A = this chain, B = another copy of it.
Amino acid sequence: MKAKWLTGIALFFLLASGGVAFGQADSSAILIDRSRFVEDSALIRRLADTILTDGQTYDNLRVLTKKVGARLSGSPGFYKAERWAWQALEEAEADKVWMQECMVPHWVRGGKDTARFYGPGVAGGLDIIALGNSVGTGAKPLEAKVLLVHNFDELDQRKEEVKGKIVFYNYPFNPLFVETFAAYSDAVRYRGAGAVRAARYGAVGVLVRSMSESIDNVPHTGAMNYVDSLPKIPAAAVGLRDADRLAALLEGHADLTVSLFTHGYMLPDTLAHNVIGELKGTVFPDQYITVGGHLDSWDPAEGAMDDGAGDVQSIEVLRALRAIGYKPRHTIRVVLFANEENGGRGGRKYAAAAKEAGEQHLLGLESDNGGFTPRTFSLSLSDEKLALIRPWLDLLRPYGTYAFEKGGGGSDTNPLQGAVGAVVGEIRPDSQRYFDYHHARTDVLENVNKRELELGAVNMAALIYLVDKYGWSPD
C-alpha cells in the first residue's frame, strides 16, 4: 500500500487553539471550558514523547521475561521477580519503594504433564498441561475411559455414565463474542468448576478444552478449584487441535482410554509481597492514585502478556511522570501485586491494608488485559460521572483511547472499591490475540509488540495525569 494517513496529532494541535468547541462532534454535548486543554494536550504529548522514545517499558519487560521468567506465587521465580520489581521502581525514580507482606498459595507443578489416548485401532499423544491448584495423578499415570460432554447440562443428564471415568469438557470459545474476554467468561467455568462437578458423580479425572480460540495446539493452564466435601481429582487442559481430534474419535463412538500423568501438589501458604513504589503528592499526599498489574504469572512461559505488560506499563507511568518533571497533587502508587492467578491475595491484601490505615483512594487503575493497542478504559463511574469526563477523550484519542466504558477494574483493583470506596478501572486494549497466549507456553516476549505496549503506558499515564489534576468532577 502507499496510502498517506493524516496524523491525528497535527490535527489535534490545530484544533486545540482555544476555548471554542473542537474535536469531534460526538463529544460536544458536554460544555466545558476547554482552553485549559491546550496545556493538558502539551503535557500529555510530553508523556508520550518520553515513553515512545526514551521509555523503559520494553527493556524492563525483556529483563522480566528473559532474566526472571515464570514467577508463580511462592516459586523461586516469584522472589526473583520481587527483587526485579524493587530495582525497576528504584530506577524509575520512585520517591519510596517498599514491600507489603502478603501470604500466598503455593502450588507446585511437580514435573512435566503428559497424556495419551488409546483404543481399538487408534492411539496418540495429547498436548496437555495440568490446571493450576490441581492434585497430581500420583506415582503413576491415571488410566480411565473417557466421557465427552459439551457442557454441565449434558454432564448432569449423563451422570450415570460418569463413575470411574475421565470427563472431557469440550466447550469451545464462542466466536460470536467479538470481545474475546466475553468468550472467556462464558467458557472458563469448565476450567474452574469442572473437576468439582465431575467428582460429584464419581469421575476420577478431568480434561478441559483450553480456554482459547487460537489455531495452534498449545494447551492453556489456569486456576481450578476444589471443595472439601468431594474427592480431589486431577484436572488438565488439552490443546485445541488435540481436543478436536479426541472429540472426533469419541463422537465416532471410539472406546477410548486416556492415560494422564500429572504431578501437582499444594504446599502451605507462604510469605510474599506486593511491591510498591510511590511518587509523593504535593497537595494531597494522603490521597492515593494506584496503578498496577500483578507480578505473579503462570509457569509454562514468561508471563509476558499476563501480566508482565501491566507491570512494566505501571512502572513506566511513574517513570514518565518523573521524567517530565510533573509534580503530582496526589500520591501516585505503583503496585505490583503478589498473587492474582491462583488466589487474588495481592489485591485483597492491598485493599485491606488501605482500609485499616484509613487511606483515601481516588483511583485504582489496573493493566491486566495484555500489552496490545489501547482502545478503551473501563471505570466504575455512573453514567453522569462518565459524561463529565468524556471531554477528556479528545486528549486521549490521538493515542488510541476513544471511549470510557461503564464497568470496573480487574481482580487486583476491584477490592479497593469495596474497601475504601475508590473508583476502579482498567485499560482494555485490543483483545483479539490475548487468549492465543494466555497461560500458555506462547506467553513470551516475542509476542508482545513494543509500540503497542508503549501506547498502553501512554494512555494510562495520560488518564492518571487527568485524574490527578481534575479529580472526577471536572467543571
Contact = CB atoms under 8 A, between A and B. Distances in A.
A176 interface: yes
A25 B28 CA distance: 10
A143 interface: no
Contact of A182 (B6, B409, B430): B6
A443 to B, nearest CB: 12
A233 to B, nearest CB: 23
A306 B9 CA distance: 26
A442 interface: no
Nearest to A411: B2
Interface string A404-435: 00011111000000000000001010111100
Contact of A387 (B6, B25, B403, B431): B25
Interface string A166-196: 0000000001111111100100100000000
A391 B315 CA distance: 39
A5 B176 contact: no
A399 B178 contact: yes
Interface string A6-45: 1111000000000000001111110000000000000000
Given A2-B223, A5-B431, A25-B387, 6 more contacts: A1-B340, A5-B181, A7-B179, A52-B175, A373-B430, A432-B451
B452 A3 contact: no
A430 B428 contact: no
A312 to B, nearest CB: 15
Contacts of A390: 25-26
A52 B215 CA distance: 14
From A1, A378, A407, A436, residue with most partner B Cβ within 10 Å: A1
Nearest to A62: B215
A221 to B, nearest CB: 13
A53 interface: yes
15 contacts: A1-B307, A5-B179, A5-B378, A6-B182, A7-B177, A7-B182, A9-B176, A26-B27, A26-B390, A49-B176, A52-B176, A53-B175, A53-B176, A178-B400, A432-B451
From A6, A26, A28, A53, residue with most partner B Cβ within 10 Å: A26
Given A24-B403, A26-B27, A373 B182 contact: no
Interface in A386-406: 387, 390, 398-400, 402-403
B5 A407 contact: yes
A432 B449 CA distance: 8
B430 A181 contact: no
A426 B176 contact: no
Interface of A: 1-9, 24-29, 48-49, 52-53, 175-182, 185, 188, 213, 215, 223, 306-307, 340, 344, 368-369, 373, 375, 378, 387, 390, 398-400, 402-403, 407-411, 426, 428, 430-433, 436, 438, 449-452, 455
Contacts of A307: 1
A8 B455 contact: no
From A4, A24, A49, A438, residue with most partner B Cβ within 10 Å: A4
From A3, A9, A340, A387, residue with most partner B Cβ within 10 Å: A3
A226 to B, nearest CB: 18
A149 to B, nearest CB: 22
B368 A3 contact: yes
Nearest to A28: B29
Contacts of A5: 179, 181-182, 185, 378, 407, 428, 431
Contacts of A431: 5
Contacts of A181: 3-5
A178 B455 contact: yes
Nearest to A9: B178
A449 B215 CA distance: 9
Nearest to A213: B451
